[in-house]
């Protein structure tokens, strides 16, 4: 059965790959992005691949933009089966920073996109998700937000000095658990996923050193979005299974 899926930040990277994955399975995907030209170009590109997609402009850092997008989507569809919160940023450059620990403005901008933006999108689109017979909310997180992993000297990410990004993903994990508890008496399943170290434009290191393609990384997003009835809600997973909080 065809579903309706909305993915934030889906004009490139993991978001675009996830859009292709869902649409290839027969779903209708609503692409979103901050730039109208990028959204229109991506919609046209995927339609040329015979995929069922549409687009809406949405800046997750602007409540006005998010509410406007939600209103527009609600005029087009009756319910939303899968909401993927993919839009996110890494703004830190440890080599260039003159701050001992964390630059306050970078911390604020990171949290605004990666945490407040997600909460805003969930609040605006949740009424549509609740109309689905089997709604799914997928929050794209990171193992770098795992407190257990941050404290593990054997972790490959142990020395990564990006406190704003780490804090934002830890907070996103907390949002995931809070939302799952709030929706415990519904058919909505909420999942935080870590797609892994992916070849995207998130950082120069990703582009140059990451082992995973965006298409490979999108599989964990797709699996969470298509989780069967009875799946645990409030989980944190990667391609190998559960990730420690």
Question: Beta 82-85 vs 53-57: how paired, if at all?
Answer: unpaired
Rg over alpha carbons for the chain, rounded to the nearest Å, is: 17
| Contact call for residues 154 and 96 (beta carbons, < 8 A) | no
- Whether residue 115 is predicted with pLDDT greater than 60 in this model: the reply is yes
Q: How far apart are CA 120 and CA 23, in angstroms?
A: 25
The token pair at 28 is: 């209708």
pLDDT (tens digit, 9 = 90+) per residue, 160-182? 889 999 999 999 999 999 999 99
Q: What is the mean pLDDT of the chain?
A: 92
Residues annotated as part of the active site: 165
Q: How far apart are CA 235 and CA 245, in angstroms?
A: 9
Sequence-separated (6 or more) residues with CB below 8 Å from residue 9 = 15, 32, 33, 60, 86, 87, 88
pLDDT (tens digit, 9 = 90+) per residue, 180-193? 999 999 999 999 99
């Amino acid at each position: 059965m065809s579903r309706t899926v909305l993915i934030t930040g889906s004009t490139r990277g993991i978001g675009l790959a996830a859009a292709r994955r869902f649409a290839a399975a027969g779903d209708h995907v609503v692409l979103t992005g901050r730039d109208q030209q990028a959204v229109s170009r991506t919609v046209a590109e995927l339609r040329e691949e015979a995929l069922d997609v549409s687009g809406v402009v949405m800046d997750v850092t602007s409540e006005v933009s998010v509410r406007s997008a939600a209103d527009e989507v609600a005029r087009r569809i009756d319910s939303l089966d899968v909401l993927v919160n993919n839009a996110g940023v890494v703004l830190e450059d440890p080599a260039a920073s003159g701050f001992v620990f964390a630059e306050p403005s970078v911390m604020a901008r990171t949290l605004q996109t990666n945490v407040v933006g997600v909460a805003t999108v969930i609040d605006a689109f949740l009424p549509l998700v609740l109309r689905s017979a089997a709604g799914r909310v997928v929050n794209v997180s990171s193992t770098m937000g795992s407190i257990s992993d941050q404290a593990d000297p054997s972790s490959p990410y142990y020395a990564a000095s990006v406190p704003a990004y780490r804090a934002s993903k830890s907070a996103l994990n907390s949002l995931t658990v809070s939302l799952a508890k709030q929706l415990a008496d519904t058919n909505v399943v909420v999942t935080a996923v870590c797609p892994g170290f992916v070849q995207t434009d998130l950082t120069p290191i990703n582009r140059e050193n990451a082992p995973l393609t965006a298409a490979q990384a999108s599989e964990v997003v797709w699996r969470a979005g298509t989780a069967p009835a009875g799946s645990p809600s409030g989980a944190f997973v990667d391609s190998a299974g559960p990730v420690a909080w």
